[in-house]
A = this chain, B = another copy of it.
Amino acid sequence: MKSIALIGFMGTGKSTIGPMLAERLGMSFVETDALIEETAKKSIERIFSEDGEPAFRELERSVIQRVSLLRDTVISCGGGATIDQRNLRLLRMCCRVILLTADPNVLFERISQCQSRPLAKGITRPSDLVRLLEQRRDAYADHDFCADTGMLTVQEVVDAIVEWVGEQDPADDTLRVPVFLGNRSYSIVVGSGLLSRIGTEMRKAGSRGKVLLFSNDTVDSLYGQAALIALSEAGFECSKFLMADGESYKTLETAGRAYAACNQSGLERRSSIVALGGGVVGDVAGFVAGTYMRGIGLVQVPTTLLAMVDSSVGGKTAVNMPFGKNMVGVFHQPHLVVADHETLETLPLRDYRAGMVELIKHGLILNAALLDYLVKRPDMILRYEPTTDLTYAIAHSCAVKAEVVESDETDMGRREILNVGHTVGHALELACGYGRLRHGEAVALGLLAETTAANMVGLASDECLATLKECLSPLLKDVHLSDIDPATVCEALESDKKKRDGKVKFSVLQRIGSVRLGVEFDRMVLQDAIAKATHL
């Protein structure tokens, strides 16, 4: 069952109510502050005084990443844990979030008896508290249930929560990842069996008007019918556009034919295109939705693992040009992403594993807990099984992507951290000829090569490189590149479009959770690193 997160200001009774609630519900209990102290091996008071609040928040964030991957657990969160939107996202998506409140006067009385809390020190009058509560308003605004611990007894609060939990669907293991982009915000819904619910999910997200289902022949034969039924049942007037399957059809010509289909179907500005398929379908459909009548609605329904955690999130759309991939496109955020991992049932094994590289990459760059979670589930990494574990892994990977996109919607800088492994990866794809390597495989090899190079020049730790090899090697079993000359790869690198001022720059993993942008490597170092990585 989904975990329960207790949030609220200090003194609202999270630590008292949490264990009682866990016992009543037969769940485990964890307290983020206790986990932080355990990790730091010192008291929160000392963390604040010796390392400062930012260091505390950093620890808190990694603890939230860990606990949000747990199920059947009551999580008592530090009072400030949900100030950071990224923490709020993880709790919202994985837990039922319960806010505890109390009147400021009640809180003042409770807090003034406990001066060991670092943030309690500034509170000398109830009015200080009112001001602080006001500042925290956004952090507490978003929750599923709320209980006032000033008005009710502890037992009454526990009873009320248990009753409310009893009303929730225990089998519901669908996760919703919010992407915060102001008036372009949307949700990524992750789970199994969602295809039959896309229509109702679209209604929930506010979609109305006509719909064009945009797919390719292959995906259509598998899931087109189910999608059409789901859309019709929700009352959408729906037409269909199919492109041929394959990267070579990701062109302006295909977009041109799709525009005609939009017109034929009578789409208007409030209409939506539903992109059902992998990255190619998502990119072309997104580009068409972003440019038809200067932008209509877009819903992404990714059917590959890579598309679920990467291309369907973030609003990048594109078509290829004869002179380069993805050279023409727009940023156009979807209104909704529905990732039904049951569609991965029919995905070729190699594509599943290549997609898994992207999840690992997201763990490597921004979520060590996700990385750990993946490494501990070798079966899940190697082949598809319809498990809730996979739902959590996909949702957390989407959350990493969302975090990066939020900080850099139009790719002006920060998104570059997503490019780890991609510079050598692209060059490998070029050198091998497109089609021989899956994109994910190329990225995995690129990650290994770039991190090896970084390790050679002292930028990446031995431990980081070892972790990388451990988690990526199983996914590269089917890749054999002994015939590829590393010098050829280096040449392909120079023609990479990411070069700037004539020099090739790399986004390099230094250690888990830390990427350095704009790194340059000596040609010989790079060639050596590529040789080592490709002959793994």
Residues of chain A touching chain B, judged by Cβ–Cβ distance below 8 Å, are: 252, 255-256, 259-260, 263, 268, 290-295, 316-318, 321-324, 327-331, 410-411, 500
Contact = CB atoms under 8 A, between A and B. Distances in A.
16 contacts: A252-B256, A259-B328, A260-B322, A263-B321, A263-B323, A263-B327, A268-B500, A291-B291, A291-B328, A292-B328, A293-B328, A294-B316, A294-B330, A294-B410, A295-B330, A295-B331
Given A256-B252, A263-B321, A293 B327 contact: yes
B327 A292 contact: yes
Q: How many copies does the complex hold?
A: 2
Contacts of A329: 291, 293-294
B318 A294 contact: yes
A328 B330 CA distance: 12
A411 B294 contact: yes
Nearest to A293: B327
A500 B293 CA distance: 14
- Residue among A330, A411, A500 with most chain B CB within 10 A: A330
Given A268-B500, A321-B260, A330 B327 contact: no
A320 to B, nearest CB: 11
- Residue among A252, A290, A294, A331 with most chain B CB within 10 A: A294
Contact of A327 (B259, B318, B322, B328): B259
Contact of A259 (B293, B317, B321): B321
- Residue among A263, A318, A324 with most chain B CB within 10 A: A263
Contacts of A330: 290-291, 294-295, 330
Contacts of A321: 256, 259-260, 263
B323 A260 contact: yes
A27 B335 CA distance: 57
Contacts of A327: 259, 263, 292-293
Contacts of A259: 321, 327-328
A321 B329 CA distance: 18
Contact of A252 (B252, B263, B294): B252
Nearest to A324: B263
A285 to B, nearest CB: 14
A279 to B, nearest CB: 16
Contacts of A294: 316-318, 329-331, 410-411
Nearest to A316: B294
Contacts of A323: 260, 263
The 9 closest A-B pairs by CB, nearest first: A294-B329, A263-B323, A291-B328, A330-B330, A259-B328, A291-B330, A259-B321, A294-B331, A252-B256
A331 B292 CA distance: 11
